[in-house]
Amino acid sequence: MGSPVSPVLANLFMEWLEQEAIATAPISCRPKLWKRYVDDVMEIVKKGVHQDLTDHLNNIDPTGSIQFTHEEEKDNTLPFLDTLLVRKGDGTVKLLVYRKSTHTDQYLNFKSHHPLHQKLGVIRTLMDRCNSVVTEEEDKERETQHIRRASSDVGTQNGPFGRWNGKRRGQSRQRRTRKRGRKLGPW
């Protein structure tokens, strides 16, 4: 394992590198938007200059150990982290959950011997990601259906799914909580 200070130093170096790269970039390929998270960068540049910017970025690093690559928008979509940015016809952007083509939807099997809170936590995390990433209601419904199918493939049943997406059916909160009193026995 490396030093605990390594991530901090790597982040400081990347911050210096990106500031230097943006400041010295030719006007023709200077990005309009630059967003970085660890080692993933999303930038908006004019059409046809992405290769010039990539070449410029690769020449900035004095050590030569950092190499930038680029991915272009395809069919008005661009993956960034675990989101898929989709450009709509009116120029606005909607967000979806992104899964690589090699993603298999393999999660904890519900019949495994893991504690119940871990199995429920997997579905809760998927639902939280859906609710925080996906921007349009019909896409949220489609993502929820995908999560239901994936969870049924690993042995879950529809019964507990209402609990997983944060909605509890039936009783009010007061009726769900039991009053715990003292029980005295003859011992």
- Structurally, the chain folds into a number of domains equal to 2
Based on the fold, state whether residues 52 and 140 are members of the same structural domain. no
Based on the fold, state whether residues 97 and 157 are members of the same structural domain. yes
The values of phi and psi at residue 16, to 5°, are -60, -45
Residue 114 covered by a domain: yes
Q: Given the DSSP bridges, would you call strands 33-37 and 83-87 parallel, antiparallel or unpaired? A: unpaired
Based on the fold, state whether residues 56 and 116 are members of the same structural domain. no
Output the pLDDT for position 83. Answer: 95
pLDDT at 176 over 80: no
For 43-54, what is each residue's pLDDT tens digit?
999 989 999 999
Residue 72 covered by a domain: no
Q: Considering the chain, what percentage of its residues have pLDDT values greater than 70?
A: 83
Based on the fold, state whether residues 12 and 56 are members of the same structural domain. yes
Last residue of a domain, one of 19, 35, 60: 60
* Amino acid in position 107: Y
- Domain of 98, in residue numbers: 77-175
DSSP state of 94: E
Based on the fold, state whether residues 53 and 121 are members of the same structural domain. no
Dihedral through CA 88, CA 90, CA 92, CA 97, nearest 10?
A: -20
For 90-110, what is each residue's pLDDT tens digit?
999 999 999 999 999 988 888
Q: Cβ contacts of residue 140 below 8 Å, gap of 6+?
A: 130, 131, 134
